[in-house]
Amino acid sequence: MLKSLLLGGLLGTMLLFSSSSNAQTDFKLPDLGSSALEVLPIDKEKTLGKVMMMQIRGGSPLVQDPVLDEYISSLGNKLVANANNVRFPFTFFMIDNQAINAFAFYGGHVGIHTGLIAQSDNESQLASVLGHEIAHVTQRHLARRLQHQKDNSALTVAGIVTGILATIIAPDAGMAILSASTTQAGLSQLSHSRKAEQEADRFGMQTLYNAGFDPTQAGAFLTKLSNQVRFQTKPPAFLLTHPLPDSRVSDVRLRAQQYQARQIQPSHDFNSAKSRVIARYQLDSKDAQAYFENEIRKSTLLDKKHLEYGLAISLLDQKKTKEAEKILLPLLDDEPNNLFYLDVYTDILISQDRAEHAVDILTKHNNLRPNNQVLALNYANSAIKAKQYDIAEQTLKLFLLDDPEHLLAKELLTELYKNNGNQAAYYEAKASVLAAYGAFLKAADEIQRALNHVDTLEAVKKTRLKALLKQYRQMQKELAKL
């Protein structure tokens, strides 16, 4: 199922482009046919990144998990704040895939597979990979590959996007469909040279150290990958686009020795994120329960909270809500503001048909930290389940003002309007979700339906919807140029 979905998304003729709740009219694709031998200007690189991000959204198992998104974005932006040559904001996201992999592409987009978190031994290892990918972007390695492309006659936006996505999302599928010259040209953009890898290692380690992490863990992670190559017939996905000669591991280890040694305390957030990934994305719930029960039993750690947290998730996912609550409440009592715990407790309460209680608990937290995605989205979801639609609508609208591209928030708003019977708002919100997947013609159809539910006296609303309808149709024409 996953493979057919990916191949359909990668080989389809429609590339996806995201839209905020108000469609943008300044969307212009870069003309690569005449400028592929030049380094992409920043504005064109960002546009190309947006096109690719939308293809990922529509054709891959993107993780929509506010807790993990909050964690990985916080970690990534901490590294970006300590990197050189940052030209634009970065976006960090996750793919539900058990392979050890991470990738970066145009416009500051950095993605990681859930398997990378599950297989990292500590936060410094995970940060070393993110720092390395950030360096690929800041040093503009992908853009520079365009400059060195010898034969760009077949190089198109579609070719670049298809080739890159084939390897970063589903390496096996990617290797199977590398027949078209456009796909091969696109693939070459992501397969970094040894020189680029050395440069990314150097800048990435400096970023890692500046951000307060242990630089020796960069070598430890590469050693882990190197060991996997020795005992596996197929190399980890990460190595398909990141060459790993023996000299590179030793070079990274020697470079780390130039930095002052650091003793880094274990990160509770990292351990919690790893437990969440194992419970939700690596194992089924029964196997996860057995795993965490075994880890708790044999662990010599004084602090086993992250293991208990993972066990609570595995029980919740089996609908054993009373058992999950018994484990989670002591954790929440110790750390009442912990976002990992609050998220799971909200799900427990909703599963127990106690959504009103979840709303009461989250009201205070949301007021103290407005627009935090974990709190705001859990608060809105609880309010929807409790049929407190005014609270949910206000919360989601405020959140989307701050983050207009947030897909999960858009989907919750659509659910809200469907439940409260606001037909015009429902069709408009549904159109916004479809536009985020690049389905602009379908989005236009939903706007037409919204117009059918607007009162004749609501002239301002009708005018706005007609303008939105025109914008969606124009954006479809832009995509057709591909």
Residue 373 β-bridge partners: none
Convert the pLDDT of each residue in 8-39 to its tens digit.
333 333 333 333 334 443 444 343 333 333 55
**C-alpha to C-alpha distance for 28 and 474, rounded to whole angstroms:** 11
With bands split at pLDDT 50, 70 and 90, how would you rate the model's confidence at 252? Answer: confident
Q: What separation in angstroms does the CA of 470 have from each of 25, 430, 473?
A: 10, 17, 5
Q: What is the per-residue pLDDT for 261?
A: 80
Convert the pLDDT of each residue in 370-421 to its tens digit.
889 999 999 999 999 999 999 999 999 999 999 998 999 999 999 999 999 9
Q: Does the pLDDT at position 156 exceed 50? A: yes
In eight-state DSSP terms, residue 42 is H
pTM of the predicted protein model: 0.81
Backbone angles phi, psi at 121, to 5 degrees: -85, -25
**C-alpha to C-alpha distance for 73 and 425, rounded to whole angstroms:** 31
Q: Does the pLDDT at position 193 exceed 80? A: no
Residue with the bigger pLDDT between 18 and 298: it is 298
Residue with the bigger pLDDT between 482 and 429: it is 429
Q: What is the DSSP string of 324-378?
A: HHHHHHHHHHH-TT-HHHHHHHHHHHHHTT-HHHHHHHHHHHHHHSTT-HHHHHH
The answer to whether 376 and 395 have CB atoms below 8 angstroms apart is yes
Backbone angles phi, psi at 76, to 5 degrees: -65, -45
Q: Does the pLDDT at position 72 exceed 80? A: yes
Q: What is the per-residue pLDDT for 353?
A: 97
The strands making up 102-105's β-sheet, listed across from edge to edge, are 91-95, 109-113, 102-105
Pairing verdict, β 91-95 and 109-113: parallel
The answer to whether 479 and 440 have CB atoms below 8 angstroms apart is yes
Q: What is the per-residue pLDDT for 24?
A: 42
Residue with the bigger pLDDT between 111 and 42: it is 111
Q: Does the pLDDT at position 236 exceed 60? A: no
Coil, strand, or helix at residue 22? coil
Q: Does the pLDDT at position 229 exceed 50? A: yes
Q: What is the DSSP string of 399-454?
A: HHHH-TT-HHHHHHHHHHHHHHT-HHHHHHHHHHHHHHTT-HHHHHHHHHHHHHTS
Q: What is the per-residue pLDDT for 262?
A: 84
Convert the pLDDT of each residue in 439-448 to its tens digit.
889 999 999 9
Q: Does the pLDDT at position 230 exceed 60? A: yes
Q: What is the per-residue pLDDT for 169?
A: 52
Residue with the bigger pLDDT between 470 and 185: it is 470
**How would you classify residue 446: left for phi > 0, otherwise alpha for psi between -120 and 50, otherwise beta?**
alpha
Overall average pLDDT of the 300-323 stretch:
94
Catalytic residues: 133, 201
Give the number of other CB atoms < 10 A from CB of residue 5: 15
Q: Does the pLDDT at position 180 exceed 60? A: no
Taken in order 432, 438, 440, 443, is the CA torsion positive or negative?
negative
Binding residues: 132, 136, 197
Angle at 62 between CA 61 and CA 67, to 5 degrees: 130
Binding residues for Zn(2+): 132, 136, 197
Q: What is the DSSP string of 131-174?
A: HHHHHHHHTTHHHHHHHH-S--TT--HHHHHHHHHHHHT-HHHH
Percentage, residues of the chain above pLDDT 70: 75
Overall average pLDDT of the 188-217 stretch:
78
Q: What is the per-residue pLDDT for 475?
A: 82
